[in-house]
């Protein structure tokens, strides 16, 4: 590679960023960083009718959350700005004019209504060589007539004039040689009536001006690639064209087809990276972040959707991904998204992440549940105790709320059937034991000691530990779950332990 690698992610700001979009960002980022190149964010906001306020900010926020920060962007600036296409409007016109001068493009005066009528009249209508002469444009019309129309500011677009009987091809990095017959390609609009470029013109002009070396985009763009290749040929030369890589799609889990926002709603899992609230409808679509995914896990699972390094390794840090990434190991076929596996990735990352780093991420969920955390160190300790049973961040609340407040519901139904006087007496004496410890000034006792003392008492009462452990757990936790009983006692300390036993004893005798 003779020039520095420069890649770009070019979304249009119309809503939340879905899995496929973020994965495109990720592959861009990994490729750029692997080659010590630059990653650019360019906002493609040429369609003013689809502009959604807040969407651009959302994209920036999402990239920041994922840790995929662009080197150049509307926010960060850079030497090739502006990075919003709406602010580059003037640049595109000159290239469209050049194309007209060279005879590679023409003016078209057909109204949308004209075209609709044509589409109805002719099956499989395409604005192309086959029908050009039947329409109102600077090829079919006389020069004088065109001059008048232009002089009168008649609304018009500029279309590419696709040549006849040529083969246009590109060497896609992922798919290899792909070729098209120009007779099958239609004369796409390059410059709209409002003076804004369409994607087709803008992507070519901006990729050139921004010195993009590798252009990644979703597979859905492949059918329009010949238009882009032609534009490169006419405007800047094929030798300057970036290498294309059309990425496979991310598919819905059931059936076939591209994963959509609706699939997530239907099947109950997020599709967007972060919560997205549509300002028009004021409805919020849930995101992976808010569902409780770690960004590292999210990035990891996305990377594995369509790429692998050829080994059995599945858990990767971003650094490892950068080091190992290569386009020749990206798949051609689409990948169905599996939410179960996504959760597994997150569980792995929760186990892998230090308790101290988890604490601030988990804390908001406790606040939401109105559970106060007085001691940050205590939270860190509890996280260590329960992290391996949590797949998603919010589960920390359900798995550990009893460490912070006494359980509100107690599953006495699981104790009652086998409850008897002997057990009652046992727990009464256990309380006495703990109270006596407290009177010596002890707040808590190590779990190992607690266990020994507990078993001594069990033996004294001629009972079996097995039949006492479950009741004890339920008294403390409220249900049949959670870490080791004595670790819980150690954590919540003697005073709370005693209170909880006594409360439950009352509950059991009142029934």
Partner RNA sequence: GGAGCGUUCGUCUAACGGUUAGGACGCCAGGUUUUCAUCCUGGUAAUACGGGUUCGAUUCCCGUACGCUCUACCA
Question: Which of 27, 29, 199, 402 is the binder for RNA (CB under 7 A)?
Answer: 199
Of 192, 211, 233, 261, the active-site residue reads 261
CA distance 2 to 152: 49
- Supply the minimum distance, in Å, between the C-beta of residue 455 and RNA: 6
- Supply the minimum distance, in Å, between the C-beta of residue 362 and RNA: 16
* 401 makes contact with RNA (CB under 7 A): no
* 179 makes contact with RNA (CB under 7 A): yes
Question: Which of 194, 367, 368, 429 is the binder for RNA (CB under 7 A)?
Answer: 194
Pick the stretch among 178-186, 269-277, 373-381, 436-444 that binds RNA (CB under 7 A).
178-186
Beta strands in 325-370 (DSSP E): 335-336
Q: Is the Cβ of residue 44 or residue 207 nearer to RNA in the bound state?
A: 44
CA distance 496 to 219: 60
Pick the stretch among 54-62, 68-76, 218-226, 360-368 that binds RNA (CB under 7 A).
218-226
Q: What is the DSSP string of 470-482?
A: HHHHHHHHSSS-S
* 295 makes contact with RNA (CB under 7 A): no
Task: With H, G, I as helix, E, B as strand and everything else as coil, classify residue 97.
Answer: helix
* 175 makes contact with RNA (CB under 7 A): yes
Please count the residues of this chain forming the interface with RNA, following the rule CB under 7 A: 85
The phi, psi pair for 43, rounded to 5°, reads: -90, 120
Where helices occur in 387-464 by DSSP H, the ranges are: 395-400, 421-439, 447-460
Question: Which of 4, 102, 119, 240 is the binder for RNA (CB under 7 A)?
Answer: 119
* 87 makes contact with RNA (CB under 7 A): no
CA distance 310 to 448: 46
User: Quick check: 165 and 183 in contact, CB under 8 A?
Assistant: yes
* 460 makes contact with RNA (CB under 7 A): no
Question: Which of 333, 417, 441, 510 is the binder for RNA (CB under 7 A)?
Answer: 333
- Three-state secondary structure readout of 242-291: CEEEEECCEECCCCCCECCHHHHHHHCCCCECCCEECCCCCCEECEHHHH
- Supply the minimum distance, in Å, between the C-beta of residue 136 and RNA: 10
- Supply the minimum distance, in Å, between the C-beta of residue 186 and RNA: 6
User: Quick check: 345 and 300 in contact, CB under 8 A?
Assistant: yes
Q: Is the Cβ of residue 278 or residue 438 nearer to RNA in the bound state?
A: 278
235: left (phi over 0), alpha (psi -120 to 50) or beta: alpha
- Supply the minimum distance, in Å, between the C-beta of residue 132 and RNA: 13
- Tell me which residues in 336-355 interact with RNA (CB under 7 A): 336, 338, 340-341, 344, 347, 351
* 138 makes contact with RNA (CB under 7 A): no
* 470 makes contact with RNA (CB under 7 A): yes
CA distance 307 to 496: 51
* 86 makes contact with RNA (CB under 7 A): no
455 is catalytic: no
Active site residues: 261
């Amino acid at each position: 590679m003779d020039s520095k690698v420069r890649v770009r992610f070019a979304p249009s700001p119309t809503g939340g960023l879905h899995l496929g979009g973020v994965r495109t960002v990720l592959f861009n980022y990994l490729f750029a960083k692997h080659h010590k190149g630059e990653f650019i964010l360019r906002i493609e906001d040429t369609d003013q009718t689809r502009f959604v306020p807040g969407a651009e900010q959302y994209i920036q926020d999402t990239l920041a959350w994922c840790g995929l920060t662009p080197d150049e962007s509307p926010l960060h600036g850079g030497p090739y700005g502006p990075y919003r296409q709406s602010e580059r409007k003037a640049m595109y016109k000159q290239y469209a004019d050049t194309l007209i001068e060279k005879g590679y493009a023409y003016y078209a005066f057909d109204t949308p209504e004209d075209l609709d009528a044509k589409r109805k009249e002719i099956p499989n209508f395409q604005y192309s060589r086959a029908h050009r002469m039947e329409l109102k444009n600077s090829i079919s019309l006389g020069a004088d007539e065109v001059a008048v129309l232009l002089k009168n500011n008649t609304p018009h677009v500029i279309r590419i004039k696709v040549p006849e009987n040529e083969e246009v091809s590109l060497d896609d990095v992922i798919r290899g040689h792909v070729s098209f017959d120009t007779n099958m390609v239609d004369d796409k609009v390059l410059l709209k009536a409002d003076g804004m470029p369409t994607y087709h013109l803008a992507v070519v002009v901006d990729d050139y001006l921004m010195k993009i070396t590798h252009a990644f985009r979703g597979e859905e763009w492949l059918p329009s690639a010949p238009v882009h290749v032609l534009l490169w040929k006419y405007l800047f030369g094929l030798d300057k064209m970036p290498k294309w890589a059309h990425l496979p799609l991310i598919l819905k889990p059931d059936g076939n087809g591209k994963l959509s926002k609706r699939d997530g709603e239907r099947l109950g899992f997020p599709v967007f990276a972060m919560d997205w609230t549509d300002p028009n409808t004021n409805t919020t679509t849930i995101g992976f972040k808010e569902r409780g995914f770690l960004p590292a896990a999210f990035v990891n699972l996305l990377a594995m959707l369509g790429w692998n390094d050829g080994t059995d390794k599945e858990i990767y840090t971003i650094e490892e991904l950068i080091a190992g990434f290569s386009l020749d190991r990206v798949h051609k076929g689409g990948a169905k998204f599996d939410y179960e596996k996504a959760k597994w990735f997150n569980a792995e990352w929760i186990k892998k992440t230090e308790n101290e780093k988890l604490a601030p991420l988990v804390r908001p969920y406790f606040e939401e549940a109105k559970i106060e955390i007085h001691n940050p160190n205590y939270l860190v300790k509890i996280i260590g105790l329960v992290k391996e049973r949590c797949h998603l961040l919010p589960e920390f609340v359900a798995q550990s709320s009893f460490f912070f407040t006494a359980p509100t519901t107690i599953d006495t139904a699981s104790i009652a059937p086998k409850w008897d006087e002997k057990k009652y007496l046992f727990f009464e004496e256990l309380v006495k034991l703990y109270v006596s410890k407290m009177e010596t000034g002890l707040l808590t006792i190590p779990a190992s000691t607690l266990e020994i003392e507990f078993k001594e008492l069990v033996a004294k009462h001629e009972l079996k530990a097995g039949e006492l452990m479950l009741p004890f757990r339920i008294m403390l936790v409220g249900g049949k779950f959670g870490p080791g009983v004595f670790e819980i006692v150690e954590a919540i300390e003697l005073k709370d332990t005693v209170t909880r036993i006594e409360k439950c004893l009352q509950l059991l005798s009142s029934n």
